[in-house]
Chains A and B, each alone.
Chain A
């Protein structure tokens, strides 16, 4: 049976089509589900094995990026989300989805209290930017990046992507192996702007929860699924699959292995 993937939508979600396409490419059975349907109980989270919160500007990112959807999850879906997480299923948040997971307290989830411990603040460049960046895959127990190559190339497109947290939290997620991706330099050294496109603390681009099953990242793996998505495919010889594909493949494989 194909793993069932719930792609969560709400007002302002806008990367749902390509995220849906990514999961379909790797053999997921996808459904686009509006958060209103979950709140109304028309759709049950527990019918799915993977939940994806795509990029976009949920509710216009009014107040702060992702916070309104995070609050809906926190206050209107608390029980079903807790049950979903406890049951060992997968969750990925990309860009705005990452902002939602952080603000909902689902990442880095250093304890089970659901308290927000980190944030994604305004870029140091103080503006929205769309560019391709290199990532260094870290040693972690993240399900989504198992076996991923050490260096991947993906686009970012955000205004609020600067990962920041108190020192103690940063130290702890590093010690726990919860840092999944860091921005990497194009040509060696440390990744200064624009290699680190937003000024993130310790160049952190993506983190997971202690179990490795909940994962969030600012860059967009769903935007690099084939060679033709790469900005330099007309001049470089590249493999047919894009760097982002393996992240979706890992999720689907994990669920398939379990069942």
Chain B
């Protein structure tokens, strides 16, 4: 329990690097030298508390250095281009240019805020908890969801958490143990541990987990990805926060222990077989504590007892107090902090990432009432110190000054990085297939349905309570037997109101093996397709970007990241859907110390979308409803099998990744959204992994009805010449739609852009209708049939797929019947 001086004043370059490395500080030489310079002016060495505080504040995790850095980007054989900060240039600029007036708060608070109804706004945040989940799946995932819930709770003056979404990427669940890199946990163990962690935390908190995805790729084996998201509901007049000098710094919730120390800096290290010995970096979760904090703070919020709130996430009190007091100054007395056990060094108390702690700024006159509320909910609250007007962060321990830093240096002293990025497009072998025959396409379809990315995740979904809070109107599993794959979930957070929130996601790292630009574009398109498919709209849909990447200090990894961020700008602006929040997790690499091989994850961008739906009773689900109804394909199919599941099952990647054609895509989504709003559509499903073949099969077996289809009238690009492309190409901006015979004419006229009932149409789409440019390519490809037969005729009229929905469903459900 003592404070050490760290001798950096006279340290040379090698010594500075050693201090950073041995202290798990993740600071590079430039940064260490900036710190050295600061303390040289003060003519003293830093204390361990000070050095740790700076390392945490400057960590990639907390300050996103890579997204702020100056990048020299070059495509192979091209001139160098300067990217002056990816965040500013691509993400933030997209939101500014779109200028949606329903965006209440973007990028500044712990989560993004958009308008909901007259009384409430919606907050949304998605985070990753990758490194902890690699070492300790249950605890890592549980505290991942716990952490993102606190982001909602720490937004504005606190939002009520109303929905969780979780997306996981794992190694292959049937990996042979011989192939497991040294020190890595088996993917199946990680999978089960992560699901249990999310289940136990989310269910105990009473938050429905109703949306998600699970992907598999061998490259996630050593470094799985765990994305956790939370949507919250916040009163409109509780969205702004402030700090006044004199406000008390109050910690609410759990006690502080030695768990989760160095989490912020640990996340900037690559993993290897020694990482698991860093057990203290993983936090320990207690969902009931967090539930109590929510209950106590919602009461205190409604009585306006505090002015500011933030969560203790990465970096613990250091981060929370440092950020809240950035504009004022703060004085903290560490001995006031309630500990789980004694014998913590001051820097450990200050940096601990012990879970379930929130920090609030309380005007002194409100303290008694706050304490009464906390006591009534059996929640501990402690006064740590005071916000000041000194612009300094001063930390005391039993009367001794253990840290005294300028807020300005702490928050603005970080030297800006310049990084190099290179993009050298890979060339993959291109397969040469014949046209195939009926048995082969039938088998291919079943194999794609059974592949782990596509297969039913019911085993996971049913372990999450998706009905709690009583507002879910479109479930994750839909259809005749409640087991078909819904495109997005819809919830009504204000019971009794029909206003809803749609949440969806888009992610497809396979295309990133060809070009991360197309992968990112497709992820946005997919997230939006899912929103549109259930009856949402583009007019009030916001996006979140969550990048998980390899080591950005390696120019090839960073080159892909630049392309991905660039696509985010291009496509978000084209669709008019702003980013409101996001996060990046870099350094996702695993070093196999036996082989020396460096395994980087596939570049993975998760796009999450949230849409406000005016009337949820207009929602549609993806299961077909009645025999005799007609099946349409909306949107054009291109020869884009690169990165497809069809190629994957035959051992190829190819080079023709699906592109987003934003003008076409936007028009398709707007007009289809209008058709659904007008009640012209009985069911709708987005075409993604596995193309039209998989989407149609899923609609059929979810509805318990067969289909008789023909590829003849499928809208296509002239380059498309073969049936396998029509069936399995994963071109973007396409949907399959079921229309009742009596609505057929109206539907066709609407999609052709000549529909006369234009009530409820946004001005922009109305204009397109009026100009006659609203037409969207559609094709009627068949009929829903009573029998369970699923038949697809190829362009030459012969049956190329002949099977039953029972067989298709069995393929789809068999993989994860655990």
In the bound assembly, the distance between CA atoms of A228 and B496 in angstroms comes to 11
Whether the Cβ atoms of B291 and A14 lie closer than 8 Å is: yes
Known contacts: A17-B470, A157-B468. The answer to whether A228 contacts B204 by CB under 8 A is no
The answer to whether B496 and A130 have CB atoms under 8 Å apart is: no
Complex CA gap A140/B503 in Å reads 43
Contact, CB under 8 Å: A228 / B492: yes
Contact check: which of B288, B467, B623 meets A11 at CB < 8 Å?
A: B288
Question: How far is it, in angstroms, between the C-alpha of A13 and the C-alpha of B468 when the chains are bound?
Answer: 11
A171 to B381, CA, bound (A): 51
Given A59-B288, A235-B703, do A130 and B204 touch, yes or no (CB 8 Å)? Answer: no
A229 touches B496 (CB 8 A): no
Considering only CB atoms, which chain A residue lies closest to B287 in the complex? A60
A232 to B477, CA, bound (A): 10
Chain B 607-646 interface mask (CB, 8 Å, partner A; 1/0): 0000000001101110101000000000000000000000
- In the bound complex, residues from chain B placing their C-beta under 8 Å from that of A34 are 376-377
Known: A18-B470, A129-B463. A234 touches B204 (CB 8 A): no
A36 is an interface residue with CB less than 8 A from chain B: yes
Q: For B199, what are the chain A residues with a Cβ–Cβ distance below 8 Å?
A: 128
- B616 near A228 (CB under 8 angstroms)? yes
Among residues 563 to 584 in chain B, which have CB atoms less than 8 Å away from a CB atom of chain A?
none
State how many angstroms separate the Cβ of A158 from the closest Cβ of chain B: 9
- Of B377, B471, B473, B621, the contact of A235 (CB 8 Å cutoff): B621
- Asked if B722 is at the interface (CB within 8 A of a chain A CB), the reply is no
Whether B287 lies near A231 (C-beta < 8 A) is no
A108 within 8 A of B: no
Does B621 lie within 8 Å of A220, measured CB to CB? no
Q: B residues within 8 A CB of A18?
A: 468-471, 495
**Docked pose: A46 CA to B236 CA in angstroms:** 37
B457 within 8 A of A: no
A44 within 8 A of B: no
- The 8 A CB mask of B467-510 against A (1 = contact, 0 = none) is 11111111101111010000000001001101000000000000
Contact call A229/B463, Cβ cutoff below 8 A: no
Chain A residues near B206 (CB, 8 Å)? Answer: 13-15, 56-57
Q: How far is the CB of A247 from chain B (nearest CB, A)?
A: 14
Q: Chain A interface residue count: which class?
A: 35 or more
A155–B466 Cα distance when bound, in Å, is 10
**What band does the interface of chain B fall in when counting residues whose beta carbon is under 8 Å from A?**
35 or more
Provide the bound-state CA to CA distance between A220 and B621, in Å.
23
**Cβ-defined contact, B620 with A234, below 8 A:** yes
**Per DSSP, are chain A's interface residues mostly helix, strand or loop, or mixed?**
mixed
B524: min CB distance to chain A, Å = 26
Which residue on chain B has the smallest CB distance to residue A34? B376
Q: Does B292 contact A (CB under 8 A)?
A: yes
Q: Are B492 and A235 in contact (CB under 8 A)?
A: no
Complex Cα gap A11–B471 (Å): 22
Q: Does B244 belong to the interface (CB within 8 Å)?
A: no
- Kindly provide the distance from the CB of B350 to the nearest chain A CB, expressed in whole angstroms: 28
CA of A17 to CA of B199, assembled, Å: 21
Q: Which residue of A11, A15, A235 contacts B291 across the interface (Cβ within 8 Å)? A: A11
One digit per residue, 1 when the CB lies within 8 angstroms of any chain B CB and 0 when it does not, for chain A 190-223 equals 0000000000000000000000000000001011
1/0 contact trace for A129-147 toward B, CB 8 Å?
1111000000000000000
Residues of A within 8 A of B466 (CB): 130
Instruction: Please tell me if the beta carbons of A11 and B377 are within 8 angstroms of each other in the complex.
Output: yes
Residue B378 lies at the interface, judged by CB distance under 8 Å to chain A: yes
**Would B463 and A131 count as touching, CB distance under 8 A?**
no
Q: Smallest distance from the beta carbon of A216 to chain B beta carbons, Å?
A: 18
Determine if A8 is an interface residue (Cβ-Cβ < 8 Å).
no
| Residue of A with least CB distance to B477 | A231
Q: How far is the CB of B683 from chain A (nearest CB, A)?
A: 8
Residues of A close to B203: CB separation below 8 A: 57, 128, 157
- The answer on a CB contact under 8 Å between A231 and B475 is yes
Complex: chain A residue closest to B622, CB-CB: A234
List the A side residues contacting B286 at CB < 8 Å.
60
Q: Which residues of B contact A (CB under 8 A)?
A: 199, 203-206, 286-288, 291-292, 295, 376-378, 462-475, 477-480, 482, 492, 495-496, 498, 616-617, 619-621, 623, 625, 683, 703
Inter-chain pairs besides A225-B470, A234-B683, 18 sampled, C-beta below 8 Å: A11-B295, A11-B377, A14-B206, A14-B291, A15-B470, A17-B470, A18-B468, A25-B496, A34-B376, A59-B288, A130-B463, A220-B467, A223-B467, A225-B495, A228-B492, A231-B477, A234-B474, A235-B479
